[in-house]
Amino acid sequence: MATVNKIGLSKSDYKGAPTTLCQGCGHNSILSQIISACYELDMAPEDIVKFSGIGCSSKAPTYMLDRSFAFNGLHGRMPAIATGAMLGDTTLTGIAMSGDGDSMSIGMGQFKHIIRRNLPLTYIIANNGTYGLTKGQLSATSEVGLTLKKQGTNEFEPIDICLEAMVSNATFVARAFAGDPKQVKTLIKAALHHNGIAIIDIISPCVTFNNADTSMHSYSWGKEHKTNLHDLSFIPARDEIMIEDFEEGTSQDVTMHDGSTIRLKKLDKDYDPTQRMAAVQKLEEANAKSWLLTGLIYIEPDRPSLIDTLRMVETPLNRLTEKELRPAPETINALNDAMF
């Protein structure tokens, strides 16, 4: 008999159709960790809504959580669809899966605006440094000097997804490597409990078009250059927090809005992920030294989300009656009198 979680579902209840992505693709590893995170957190699939744009990464909703609703948008337009859906039903948990082409090129404007509005959404970017779906062109995150068979050598500076998120005032910024599934799953769990936009940049090697040992998006480069800020653990609010024997000053707890806790066992004793300027400085330092800096880079758990800012009613908009949605004539007249 299959093992079930606290709501009586087995892990297979969180899966989707068999993947058609290339064998060894980092995206498959990310999908597996999304499935595991939702199963282990006892989330009902029917309470989750999935979003994607265009690209290999955006085929993801098909391969996970087939009992959840899903929206697939135009190239770079996924954030607008996610905003509408999440405002329409504020009881849902949103998971967005995008790529470096979808979000960092044509979708950059929408990426910026969904961040500044702080929509409650786990926004995962599977970053492989190439346009895999269109057969291996250079992307906005391709490093200077990268040579790809289909397009030659890149001469332009890459976009750093985490830095872009930071300067756009994201309230949760993290980076992971698809070859480290434990870290990926822990960050996804934390993101799902964050009351705001949670950006996770996951280096996800494309084994077909961009996996040469010299590529900064390859498995071998990632394993050799990966630098962890800390060891992570996530403790849901319902679980007892066990005190571990950490040396004083080497661990830090960050409390989420719902009482959950992210526990950081610091590898860099001076690093504090609640300090914005320190986070930006650390990212710049990592870029200068060609480190693949991973972990929770920044978190601001207390800033109001878009739902809070708009003072949304408790009942989701998609469940309000026509009478509740339509203001009475005297209300409209009062508004007109006040304005004009």
Tokens 């950059």 sit on residue? 108
User: First CA to last CA across the chain, in angstroms?
Assistant: 69
What is d(CA 48, CA 95) in angstroms, rounded to the nearest whole number? Answer: 7
Hey, what are 21's tokens? 């992505």
> What per-residue confidence (pLDDT) applies to 202?
96
Coil, helix or strand for 55?
coil
> What per-residue confidence (pLDDT) applies to 258?
76
Would you call 151 exposed, middle or buried from its count of C-beta atoms within 10 A (0-12, 13-18, 19+)? middle
> What per-residue confidence (pLDDT) applies to 324?
87
> What per-residue confidence (pLDDT) applies to 334?
92
Q: Facing residues of 234 across strands?
A: 262
| Cα of 38 vs its chain's centroid, Å | 14
Coil, helix or strand for 316?
coil
| Cα of 26 vs its chain's centroid, Å | 15
Cβ-Cβ contacts under 8 Å for 336 (sequence gap 6 or more):
none
Domains defined for the chain, CATH in brackets: 11-231+268-309 (3.40.50.970)
> What per-residue confidence (pLDDT) applies to 236?
85
Tokens 């320190």 sit on residue? 278
> What per-residue confidence (pLDDT) applies to 243?
46
What is d(CA 172, CA 248) in angstroms, rounded to the nearest whole number? Answer: 26
Hey, what are 294's tokens? 């991973």
**What Rg do the C-alpha atoms of the chain give, in angstroms?**
21
> What per-residue confidence (pLDDT) applies to 250?
62
Beta 251-255 vs 230-235: how paired, if at all?
unpaired
Per-residue pLDDT reduced to its tens digit, 282-331: 999 989 988 888 999 999 999 999 999 999 999 999 999 988 888 888 98
> Could you give the angle at the alpha carbon of 292 between the alpha carbons of 286 and 223, nearest 5°?
145
Q: Are 214 and 139 in contact (CB under 8 A)?
A: no
DSSP secondary structure letter of residue 206: B
Hey, what are 88's tokens? 């329409």
Beta 130-131 vs 121-127: how paired, if at all?
unpaired
Per-residue pLDDT reduced to its tens digit, 39-69: 999 999 999 999 999 998 888 889 999 999 9
Residues in the chain predicted with pLDDT less than 70, given as ranges, are 1, 238-250, 265-269
What is the pLDDT of the chain when averaged over all its residues? 90
How many other CB atoms are found less than 10 A from the CB of residue 311? 7
- 203 phi/psi in degrees, rounded to 5: -65, 115
- Closest to 190 measured CA to CA, from 246, 283, 254: 254
What is d(CA 238, CA 217) in angstroms, rounded to the nearest whole number? Answer: 37
How many other CB atoms are found less than 10 A from the CB of residue 126? 30
